[in-house]
Amino acid sequence: MRRSYHYDWRKSWDRKQDAYMTLEASFIFTYVLILMVAIIYLAFFLYDRCLFAQDSYILCFRESYVKDENTDLSEELKSLVARQFGTKYFMLDGESSDASVDKDKIIFSGSAALTPRLFASTDIMPSGIWSMNFSSSARKSDPPYSIRHYRRIRYLAGKVIDSKKE
């Protein structure tokens, strides 16, 4: 009986192929996990940014109606910030805001930063790009005065038209 010392390379190749696939899968899974975490952080950042813009505009709009000439609107805006912004923001750090009042405008500006807890200050998620600044303004208005003014003009125009008919 003749013995074959022939090496079966196919069995060895199959074992090596499995090892290569395991190694490649571990690298791919790591990259996919980092990508998913980055997408989640980006979603939180966009949510906070939209909510921040909405809240600052609502704050300006609510205070744009003339209430009393003796009140300081900028101080009133600053006191209402905590109530309007509340605790609805995810992972937001270092929120600061400022309000000012011009002749006809109320201007509210604010800034905040989202600090990534995972992969903080690495090349994957640099900390400088996660900051947001927003400024909104609303024109001061007095709706009752405008309505009274419109009604008075309409009344006077009606009087002029009636006098021309006679």
- Condensed to tens digits (0 to 9), the pLDDT of residues 40-71 reads 888 888 888 888 888 888 887 777 665 666 66
pLDDT tens string, the chain, 166 residues long: the values are: 555 566 665 666 565 555 666 777 888 888 898 889 888 888 888 888 888 888 888 887 777 665 666 666 666 766 777 777 777 777 777 777 777 777 778 888 888 887 777 766 667 667 666 788 888 888 877 777 778 888 999 999 988 888 887 6
Element housing 146 (H / E):
helix 143-165
Q: What pLDDT, on the 0 to 100 scale, is given for residue 153?
A: 92
Contacts of 88 (CB under 8 A, 6+ apart): 51
Whether the Cβ atoms of residue 112 and residue 132 lie closer than 8 Å to each other: yes
Taking the C-alpha atoms of residue 78 and residue 98, their distance in angstroms, rounded to an integer, is 7
Domain, as residue range, for 96: 15-141
Taking the C-alpha atoms of residue 116 and residue 131, their distance in angstroms, rounded to an integer, is 11
Total number of domains constituting the chain: 1
- 157, part of any domain: no
- 23, part of any domain: yes
Taking the C-alpha atoms of residue 157 and residue 165, their distance in angstroms, rounded to an integer, is 13
- Token output for 126: 């640099």
pLDDT digits (tens, 9 = 90+) for 87-100: 777 777 777 777 77
- 45, part of any domain: yes
- 148, part of any domain: no
- 120, part of any domain: yes
